[in-house]
Amino acid sequence: MMRAWMTPWLLLAVPILGAGLSWLLRAALSRMKTAALITTVVSLCSIIGSALALGEPSVGVPFLCLLPLTACLSLLGQPLHRDTSPAWPMTLILLGLGLGTLTSQGLVHGILLLLLLILLCGVLYRHQPVSAPDTWRGLASYGLGIIAILVALVLPAPASDIAGLMACATLFPLLPLHSGFVASLSGLPGNLPAFLALLLPMVGFHDLQVLLPTLSGTVLHTLAILALAGAVYGSLRALIQSRPLPRLAYAALAFFCLLWWYVADTGTAPIPATIYLSAVGLATSGLLLAWFAIRARYGDVDLRTLGGMAYPMPRFSTLLALLALAALGMPPFGVFSGFLSMLLLPTFTPSGPFAVIMLVWLTASWYQMELVQQLVFGRAHAELRYEDLRRTEFMSLVLLLFLLLVLGTAPSRWFESNAPTPPLSTASQGDTWTR
Q: Are 401 and 70 in contact (CB under 8 A)?
A: no
Query: Does residue 432 carry a pLDDT above 60?
Result: no
Query: Does residue 260 carry a pLDDT above 50?
Result: yes
Query: Does residue 435 carry a pLDDT above 60?
Result: no
pLDDT value of position 8: 77
Which amino acid makes up residue 25? L
Q: Are 289 and 418 in contact (CB under 8 A)?
A: no
pLDDT classification of 129: cutoffs 50, 70, 90:
low
**10 Å Cβ neighbour count for 395?**
14
Query: Does residue 143 carry a pLDDT above 70?
Result: yes
Lowest mean pLDDT among 222-236, 263-277, 367-381: 367-381
Query: Does residue 201 carry a pLDDT above 60?
Result: yes
| Structure confidence by residue, pLDDT tens digits, 64-114 | 889 999 999 999 988 888 888 888 999 999 999 999 999 888 888 899 999
Which amino acid makes up residue 432? T
pLDDT value of position 270: 87
Would you call 362 exposed, middle or buried from its count of C-beta atoms within 10 A (0-12, 13-18, 19+)?
exposed
pTM: 0.90
pLDDT value of position 58: 47
pLDDT value of position 433: 54
Q: How far is residue 400's CA from residue 285's CA, in Å, rounded to a whole number?
A: 8
| Structure confidence by residue, pLDDT tens digits, 342-356 | 888 888 877 777 788
Spans of all domains in the chain:
1-215, 216-415
Residue 328: CA count within 13 A, CB half-sphere: 19
| Structure confidence by residue, pLDDT tens digits, 33-67 | 999 999 999 999 988 887 777 665 444 677 888 99
133: Cα separation from own chain's centroid: 23
| Structure confidence by residue, pLDDT tens digits, 219-252 | 999 999 999 999 999 988 988 887 888 889 999 9
Kindly report the backbone phi and psi dihedral angles of residue 15, in degrees, each rounded to the nearest multiple of 5, phi listed first.
Answer: -65, -35
Q: How far is residue 81's CA from residue 32's CA, in Å, rounded to a whole number?
A: 11
The more confidently predicted of residues 14 and 377 is 14
Average pLDDT over residues 294-313: 79
Q: How far is residue 193's CA from residue 70's CA, in Å, rounded to a whole number?
A: 11
For the chain, the average pLDDT equals: 84
Give the closest residue to 8 by CA, choosing from 426, 435, 430: 426
% of the chain exceeding 90 in pLDDT: 40
% of the chain exceeding 70 in pLDDT: 90
Helices 106-127/133-154 angle, 10° precision: 170
Q: How far is residue 272's CA from residue 90's CA, in Å, rounded to a whole number?
A: 31
3-state helix/strand/coil string of the chain: CCCCCHHHHHHHHHHHHHHHHHHHCCCCHHHHHHHHHHHHHHHHHHHHHHHHHHCCCCCCHHHHHHHHHHHHHHHHCCCCCCCCCCHHHHHHHHHHHHHHHHCCCHHHHHHHHHHHHHHHHHHHHHHCCCCCHHHHHHHHHHHHHHHHHHHHHHCCCCHHHHHHHHHHHHHCCCCCCCHHHHHHHHHCCCCHHHHHHHHHHHHHHHHHHHHHHHCCHHHHHHHHHHHHHHHHHHHHHHHCCCCHHHHHHHHHHHHHHHHHHHHHHHCCCCHHHHHHHHHHHHHHHHHHHHHHHHHHHHCCCCHHHCCCCCCCCHHHHHHHHHHHHHHHCCCCCHHHHHHHHHHCCCCCCCCCCHHHHHHHHHHHHHHHHHHHHHHHHCCCCCCCCCCCCCHHHHHHHHHHHHHHHHHHHCHHHHCCCCCCCCCCCCCCCCCCCCC
Average pLDDT over residues 314-329: 89
Q: How far is residue 204's CA from residue 172's CA, in Å, rounded to a whole number?
A: 5
